[in-house]
């Protein structure tokens, strides 16, 4: 028996497709919506190979209010996992209006669709970028948010604020905000992985594309930060671990275990890995020497951030299984296959 019909926005994307696999494997029916601006439907072919389930994708831009509302009217969703957003930090610095219009309006239209059709459960894809350049490490859910370092980060802060405000006056809406750190790696089957239509900006695909020869070299943005080796530090979380957290968050809402109707969770492995350490991990597990050089700092980059995920461990029962070596191993297997 199905646990419910879930709309996954951005379902053809990297995290969306892995989450669809996990949802199907844990008893949910899934519908995708993706405007294919930074993904294509081949990811859903991979999902079908892994799960044996063909997932329907609606090619709709959620910034289009009427099209979004019509989708909610046509399908009786019991929950929504909202990934769809523009997400490149550097691009957001140069195109702030585009990021604000897309990321805020798409969430607002999803909320309207939920309210109109009585859909109560929402999992929102937030980001560690909401913490800004924090002085508290590791960050917890109560760590004060600092000024965001980019318009992208600011849209995530604003979306969180929108949800807190809406939940305050709409007790029937049950929301979980997942602040996740740096997703990386690929499904162990190598049937789905990170395959952006636009040039990759996340570290793992940049490393693998350089290693396989798609890029002549890789740039490390700065080696003069106040960190142990001068490069930025992040908390890299395997995408399969991250995907499972969304399923657990839906179960958490279905079973009515939450203390409030708008809950926050950090998702990370709780340890920082520097850019240079990630490169060394890749070289160690693959035996491939990477061609990289040190460049200038990049606008919008936070110096160091990693998570305290004890709340997710305790309340969602979430335990990450993979580390940076697993991330690099699966990312490389996916790169070689694709």
Catalytic residue set: 152
DSSP-derived 3-state class of residue 335: helix
At 232, give phi and psi (nearest 5°): -60, 150
Element (H, E) at 222: none
The string of DSSP letters for 300-314 reads T--SB--B--HHIII
Both tokens assigned to 129:
């970028």
Both tokens assigned to 137:
């490490």
Distance CA 254, CA 7 (A): 15
Cα 56 versus chain centre, distance: 21
CA triple 42-48-50, angle to 5 deg: 110
DSSP-derived 3-state class of residue 195: coil
Answer whether 207's CB lies under 8 Å from 153's CB. Answer: no
Q: Of 169, 323, 142, 148, which is closest to residue 261 (Cα–Cα)?
A: 169
Report the chain's C-alpha Rg in angstroms. 19
The string of DSSP letters for 61-107 reads -TT-HHHHHHHHHHS--SEEEE--S---HHHHHH-HHHHHHHHHHHH
Distance CA 87, CA 89 (A): 6
């Amino acid at each position: 028996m199905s646990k419910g019909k879930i709309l996954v926005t951005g379902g053809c994307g990297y995290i969306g497709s892995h989450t669809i696999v996990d949802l199907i494997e844990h008893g949910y029916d899934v519908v995708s919506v993706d405007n294919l601006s930074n993904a294509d439907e081949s990811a859903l072919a991979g999902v079908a190979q892994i799960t044996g389930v063909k997932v329907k994708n609606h090619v709709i831009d959620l910034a289009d209010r009427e099209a979004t509302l019509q989708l909610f009217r046509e399908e009786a969703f019991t929950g929504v996992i909202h990934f769809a957003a523009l997400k490149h930090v550097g691009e957001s610095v140069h195109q702030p209006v585009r990021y604000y219009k897309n990321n805020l309006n798409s969430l607002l239209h999803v909320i309207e669709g939920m309210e109109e059709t009585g859909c109560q459960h929402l999992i929102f894809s937030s980001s560690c970028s909401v913490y800004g350049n924090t002085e508290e490490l590791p960050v917890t859910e109560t760590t004060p948010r600092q000024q965001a370092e980019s318009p992208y980060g600011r849209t995530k802060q604003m979306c969180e604020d929108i949800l807190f405000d809406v939940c305050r006056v709409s007790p029937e809406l049950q929301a979980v905000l997942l602040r996740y750190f740096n997703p990386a790696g690929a499904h162990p089957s190598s049937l789905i992985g990170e395959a952006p239509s636009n040039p990759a900006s996340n570290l793992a695909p940049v490393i693998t594309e350089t290693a396989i020869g798609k890029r002549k070299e890789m740039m490390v943005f700065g080696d003069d930060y106040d960190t142990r080796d001068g490069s930025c530090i992040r908390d890299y979380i395997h995408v399969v671990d991250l995907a499972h957290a969304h399923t657990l968050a839906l179960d958490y809402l279905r079973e009515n275990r939450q203390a409030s109707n708008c809950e926050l969770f950090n998702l990370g492995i709780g340890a920082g890995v520097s850019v240079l350490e990630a490169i060394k991990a890749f070289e160690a597990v693959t035996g491939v020497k990477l061609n990289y050089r040190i460049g200038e700092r990049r606008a919008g980059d936070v110096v160091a951030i990693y998570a305290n995920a004890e709340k997710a461990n305790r309340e969602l029962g979430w335990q990450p299984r993979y580390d940076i070596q697993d991330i690099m191993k699966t990312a490389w297997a996916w790169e070689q296959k694709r």
